[in-house]
Structure 1
Amino acid sequence: MANRTRLHGWAIAAAALLLCGLLAMLAVDRVMRSTAIDGAERRTTGNAEILVAGLESELEKYSLVPPVLAQDPDVIALMRGERFRAASLDRRLESLARQTEAAVIYLMDERGETLSSSNHARPDSFVGSNYAFREYFRRAILLGEATQFALGTVSRRPGLYIAKRIGNYTDPLGVVVLKVEFDGLEESWRESGKRVYVTDGDGIVLIGSDPDWRFHALAPVATETRDRAEDLRTVGVASFPLLDIADRFERVVSVPLHEGRIAIAPSGWVMHLLVDSSGEVANAVERGRLAVALAIALLAMLGGLVLYLMRRRHHARELDVARRTGLLREQLSQANRLAMLGQMGAGISHEIRQPVAAMRVYAENGTKLLERGDAESAKSNFELISGLADRIGAITGELLRFSRRGTRQLKPMPIGEVIDGALMLLNDRIASQDIAIALPGGEEREVEVLGEHVRLEQVLVNLLQNALDAIGSGGRITIDISTTPESCLLAVSDDGPGLDEAVVDRLFHPFTTTKTAGLGLGLVISRDIMEDLGGDLLYEPSKAGTRFVIEVPRA
């Protein structure tokens, strides 16, 4: 009995779940169907507006040509009887038609006789033909301008004729006509798969993506208001059969056709874009049903997603810690550079004061020499002043570069540039302590390394500062260079008392120092910089004094 009750309960639950699933499916079907239809309607209207903008732009481009030609002095002269201008105008019209992609451009006198045409060299040339019977000619002579969609009398190709009167109403000289054919536009519509057609004010199809739609009517045309003979002569048909668009679509589901209708200025035409959204609606409904089926699977995936997000958060925290550590290292390196600049401040000030004082003396002497007329000696003094100014500029430029944050952009450079920059910053202290500096030869200084000038210079300045502190006055510092296929080894040695074994073991540990006022961070920061540049900073034991080696990757 209990089992039967339990089975009955499971059956009710299953039925309830099935019912809820069916109701959800029906609700989703309705929502997806409505959403797809609304979206298709909006896209249809938007695409129709885009097509209209493109067609209007084309028509506007062509409509500018006849008014310009109607004002052309050569055209007016031709109409006034200077027939010798016809040949040159034929060539101009031919070139203009080619540039504007017009089917043909031609000039008629006030009687409708064609005097010049862009197709003058073709067998179907309009020159000599009379088109006074054309409606666009009659209306242009009467109203000043006119348009007419018609078949060509010779080519039987449909197109829009744009006409402009030459001269004024009281003294008409003739008419300029440009014909536009839409074969290329219709072909682009067909290739894009769009069902597009354009109707005139009477609802008659003039151009479209399907050539069979041309000269069909959307609704019965009142025959009593039209001239059947004129229609037959103009468009080749005396009556316009009805166009049944709906029969030309293969429907997947029962939904209405979407039609975008946009008026086209200034021709009085209407653009029609037809869209069958039945396939889109069917796909949307299928997607909705699939979404309902996937909802259950998504619940199972939720646990995995939560675990993934937790791991991702942990990874983000690690990245943030790494970023903060890098920032701290950069700040510590910058603080170390500024501290070294503070220590070198008095010496650099002396380096600048001496040239400034000398410049003043040379300037005073130069002035006196000029007063005595000794221009050659004065020139020599001023050249010395220029050299001293260059010296000050070099010192201050090196000082500014050293104080900037490292760019971390590695580039090839000769190792001698780093040596020169460091010695310039420490020049006064080296001189004041009467220190002898042994430098590498010219060829060794040209070894190309891959590094970043400011930070390499910071490491070298740090080592030289330590050596100067260790040896006191009258000592000797040696800078030498050796190479391996991968690295350049820049060594700094001094003849000081050297380091205790106890200190050597903890040399690159923070806060290890033999100076009473030091923090013990200089060597730590320097090795950190070199590792960041792909190199290293090493201590090499020596029989006398202290020796450090900067290992820099070769370019």
Structure 2
Amino acid sequence: MKLSLRVRTIIPIALTIVIFGLFAVGSISWFARDNLLDGAQKDLELIVHEKSREIGRLFDTSQKLAKTLSQNSFLISYLENDEEIIYQDEHILEHFEQGNIGGQYSAIYVMGVDGVTYVSTDEAFVGNNYGFRPYFKGAVQGESVVSVARGVTSGKLGYYFSHPVYSQDDIIGVVVAKLNPDLVQDYISFGELGDGFHVMFTDQYGVVVYSDISERLFRSVGALDKDVITFIKDERTYEGVEIRPLQYDDVQDVIRAGSGVATIWIYDEMDAKDELLVVDYVEGYPFYLIVEQDVETFVRPIN
């Protein structure tokens, strides 16, 4: 059957309209997806940055507590009389317990310049020598130190805030406040954002000290340098734990370079997903907050 001239004219026009229509729909969808991803990235960057600031304020409070406790006149007199040190002196213990408002600290203790613990709110620490810890080594040299470690006595993770105790210009001891990690985890929680989000909190080397995925704990986000692995072992930071790398080498590079803040788009081969990772450092402290989001959660509304 022969088609009329009119029909033969209409068919190419109709096909052209359909083709251009599909192209237009595809273009609009692509631009919508691009704009959605850009907006979602900026929103996530702001959220992560604010979370980092909140953690920083918590750490500020802990650092100030260690300093305040170290300046107590009874404590200074106690350490000055180093030939008659009384372990678990009740006056010093009361001073520390009063400082532990709300039980936020799993232990508050004082060490002599030899690293031995004299008084502690956790009695298991008394008499132990923690002179190998970075928080002691730095404080006994006059620094105010913040570090994270897995306790060799308790076996539990803690954030340690130390400050030297001075008698005139001489350092005569070190005060340490061990912050309960549950408090930090409360600040890091991203549960209100819904599905598709995962979080990691790392030390200065990229070792995960908190994650909503428990299998990531005490793993590095990417491959660590050999000298870093040796240093961590020598310092007994995570004693009894083998630190194995995750697949986020790009994030590890950011931490290794000390870049501070970064946004990284990756294809996660292990999860078989496109992902957005936002990395932000806790200003003034040796920690990084990393939030990972499945890109599918961005584009689902326009699919």
* TM-score, normalised with respect to structure 2: 0.79
Distance change in 2, residues 1:14/1:155 (3 Å): same
Question: Which has the larger share of helix?
Answer: 1
2:276 to 240, 258, 266: 258
Letter paired with 1:155: S
- Unaligned segments of structure 2, at least 5 residues: 249-267
* Contact in 1 for aligned 2:69/2:96 (Cα 8 Å): no
Distance change in 2, residues 1:169/1:135 (3 Å): farther
Match of 1:234 in 2: 237
SS of 2:141's equivalent? helix
**CA-to-aligned-CA distance 1:170-225 (integer Å, 9 cap, x gap):** 62211100112323443662634542223333332233333322332233322245
Q: Which structure 2 residues correspond to residues 96-245 of structure 1 after superposition, within 5 A?
A: 96-99=99-102, 101-120=104-123, 125-167=124-166, 171-186=170-185, 189=189, 191-192=191-192, 194-224=197-227, 226-227=230-231, 229-231=233-235, 233-237=236-240, 240-244=243-247
Distance change in 2, residues 1:147/1:238 (3 Å): same
1:91 aligns to 2:91 (yes or no): no
* Contact in 2 for aligned 1:70/1:166 (Cα 8 Å): yes
Higher relative contact order (CA 8 A, sep 6+): 2
Match of 1:451 in 2: none
> Shift of residue 112 of structure 1?
2.3
> Shift of residue 85 of structure 1?
8.5
> Shift of residue 247 of structure 1?
4.8
* Contact in 1 for aligned 2:142/2:171 (Cα 8 Å): no
Cα distance between partner residues in 1 of 2:130 and 2:237: 12
Cα distance between partner residues in 1 of 2:64 and 2:132: 24
SS of 1:69's equivalent? helix
Match of 1:15 in 2: 15
> Shift of residue 64 of structure 1?
0.6
> Shift of residue 140 of structure 1?
1.0
Cα distance between partner residues in 2 of 1:145 and 1:76: 17
**CA-to-aligned-CA distance 1:405-439 (integer Å, 9 cap, x gap):** xxxxxxxxxxxxxxxxxxxxxxxxxxxxxxxxxxx
**CA-to-aligned-CA distance 1:64-90 (integer Å, 9 cap, x gap):** 101111111121122123749921332
1:275 aligns to 2:283 (yes or no): no
> Shift of residue 13 of structure 1?
4.3
* Contact in 2 for aligned 1:40/1:277 (Cα 8 Å): no
Letter paired with 1:204: V
Distance change in 2, residues 1:100/1:33 (3 Å): same
* Contact in 1 for aligned 2:222/2:247 (Cα 8 Å): no
Cα distance between partner residues in 2 of 1:271 and 1:130: 32
Report how many aligned residue pairs link the two structures: 276
Letter paired with 1:5: L
Cα distance between partner residues in 1 of 2:95 and 2:166: 20
**CA-to-aligned-CA distance 1:119-142 (integer Å, 9 cap, x gap):** 34xxxx323333223232122112
**CA-to-aligned-CA distance 1:493-527 (integer Å, 9 cap, x gap):** xxxxxxxxxxxxxxxxxxxxxxxxxxxxxxxxxxx
Say what the alpha-carbon RMSD is for the aligned residues: 2.9
Cα distance between partner residues in 2 of 1:171 and 1:79: 11
Q: Which runs of 4+ in 1 moved over 6 A?
A: none
Match of 2:39 in 1: 39
Match of 2:75 in 1: 75
- Unaligned segments of structure 1, at least 5 residues: 287-555
SS of 2:222's equivalent? coil
* Contact in 1 for aligned 2:87/2:118 (Cα 8 Å): no
* Contact in 2 for aligned 1:102/1:178 (Cα 8 Å): yes
Q: Which structure 2 residues correspond to residues 496-507 of structure 1 after superposition, within 5 A?
A: none
Match of 1:25 in 2: 25
* Contact in 2 for aligned 1:105/1:179 (Cα 8 Å): yes
Distance change in 2, residues 1:2/1:210 (3 Å): closer
* Contact in 1 for aligned 2:223/2:246 (Cα 8 Å): no
Cα distance between partner residues in 2 of 1:238 and 1:100: 28
Letter paired with 1:33: R
Match of 2:251 in 1: none
SS of 1:230's equivalent? helix
Q: Which structure 2 residues correspond to residues 240-389 of structure 1 after superposition, within 5 A?
A: 240-244=243-247, 246-247=268-269, 249=271, 251=273, 255=274, 257-284=275-302, 286=303
**CA-to-aligned-CA distance 1:349-396 (integer Å, 9 cap, x gap):** xxxxxxxxxxxxxxxxxxxxxxxxxxxxxxxxxxxxxxxxxxxxxxxx
